[in-house]
Structure 1
Amino acid sequence: MSIALDPFFNLSMDCLCIADYDGYFKKINPAFVELLGYSEDELRSRKICEFIYEEDRERTAIHRDYLINNRPLVNFENRYVCKSGELVWLHWTSIPVPEEKLVYAIARDISFTKGLEKERVSHLSELSQLNNELKRLNYVTSHDLRSPVNNLISMVDLIDSSKIEDGETLEILRFVKLSAEGLKDTLDSFVDTLKEKELHTESVEKVYFAPVFEKVCHSIKSLINKTQAEVAVDFCDLDHIFFNRAYLESIFLNLITNSIKYARPGVQPVITVRARQKENVKTLVYADNGLGFDLDKVGHLIFNLNQSFHSNQDSKGVGLYLVHKHVISLGGNISVDSKVNEGTTFTINFRA
């Protein structure tokens, strides 16, 4: 290494290293040594993969092969195991130099950020569960109260008022019945309102697929161009639905960005979107050729909050949860068909 660069290498707060194509560290800066807790000799004596957290080794090996084939590595994240046993998250940028058969890399410790992110998603999950529990309690309470109220009305009706001579007692019975009937109407109205809010939290309007899809694609145009994603749409059979515009934008945005994030390495992302109507059923079919899912293992978790099925620095476990929430909140349903390394198809049936 040039003498002029030694101070930069030795004093950098980020983790700097040089590795050979055989998978060994050739040089490690003090910041990296301090973070992992091993001596430089220990780090250089063992293969790099031995310091990587076991669950991340296979994915890291795939990207290492790309490096050896002269493809730079940018925005890659994995976990290393410190000598103390502690896990640290590292964010990598690595550049191969084929003529030297070396890889020059810089890593930044993002463990704190990952912790905050996990905590945020955990709080979001708790709030969602609490909200669902409150809604359930509202339904149960209002539903269960109607039975005793109906019984009270029936009991008042069973009283033979002709046998009661006291006018004040008759008046009290009349007020009891009016009050019970009023409470019944209030409970019925409350239940209807809950159902109405469940289906119509946001305004619904006539929304055309094409302009919404174009708007979303334009907003992530650089991402689409950078990955050379191929996008094909067909809205000829069904060009619009009555839906919430913001929800449809969110659905398209999350599905498209997921397809790009979870594209198969070295394979051009291909996305197809088709809308159709058969009898009274309006359907949107979205498909890609990405990594896919093992439905036998994770099929029941795909739309849950805080679920991530592929190791990726942008995985938050929120996107598909939002897609599902938007669809069902307006009375629709969504299903998924997928195979590992073959792609995924989402089928959305909108409420008639």
Structure 2
Amino acid sequence: MLLVEDSLTDAAIAHGMLPDDRFEVEIATSLSEAMDLLEWSLDFDVGMVDLHLPDARALDAPRRLLAHPNVPPLVVVSGSIDDRLVRESLRLGVDDVLDKVHVTTPQVLARVLSHAVERAAFRTALEAQNRAILGGNTQLRKMVEQIAHDLRNPMVAMRGYAKALDRDEIDEEVRQRLRHELAAVADRSLLALDAMLVDIADTSGRSRINVTEMVAWAHDMLHEDFVESGASIMLEDLPDVWGQPASLRQVVLNVLHNAIRHCTPGTQPRIRVRAELVPDGERIVFSDNGPGVPRAQLETIFGLGERPPAMPGHAALGLASVRGVMTRHNGTVIARNNDRGGLDIVLTFPRRRPGEGDARA
């Protein structure tokens, strides 16, 4: 605690009223001394400042202290308090105003200082929450823009296929190929739409999830893609993880879908899913035999609207959605190139928190 009081008698009285096990007090007898202490210390949890100092008068002391970046929550004390002084002090940003005549017990003083600390902590949390909301709004706007882009393009393609199918001169072989392409574009659009809806609106509770079963589900959902591309998948022993089943199924679906789409042309996709040991969680690695991504662009593939040159057909919404889901699970997702020349998508989950149930999904 920083105590700014020019009267050593009053400072000693205030110091003596505070319990030693809760408050470690540094005393400054002038504003300049208090400013020096702030300059050299970042550890003050609360401050108490008298309005009558040898180098400051009235509200000049709290005004200058509050302008310092290291200032803690501040309580103003004075022997003469009126409503105007209280209003002006609070408008400056002090946490409380205390009349010396009302400080009759150690409990009163300790309570005022503790409440100042608690209000400051609440204010800091509220500011962080507001920043998160603003950041979320920015991310949501980018997501909406990306959704509009990623869904509009296939819709334009489907309209072109539909118009082509109306032409009488097209032979049956071309017509069948157009129908197949139309269905494939529609399926990809539905996958992107499903990813968006799950990412935004997943309200399922968290439970223990069998990753092997989750990969099998995604394989079934992508059955036509696996057959058409000749892709194969190899599963090693995988641990269970904790999370929201619907969101994490979509994560696995997106990762597998990207591995199939971005395989080296003329090569059948080979996907390996394995676990890696980490001390404080569970790590699942999806390895493919695709072309990989330049090192400088590995982080870029998780950004909304970003398509590295190495992945010209990359579904930006898909991997951005994976990053969003993993962040909400207090986990991480990174990309790295593997020794086969392909890409690893690495999902790391924290271990189950104490008190979480044993429901299984």
TM-score, normalised by the number of residues in structure 1: 0.45
User: By percentage of residues, which structure has more strand?
Assistant: 1
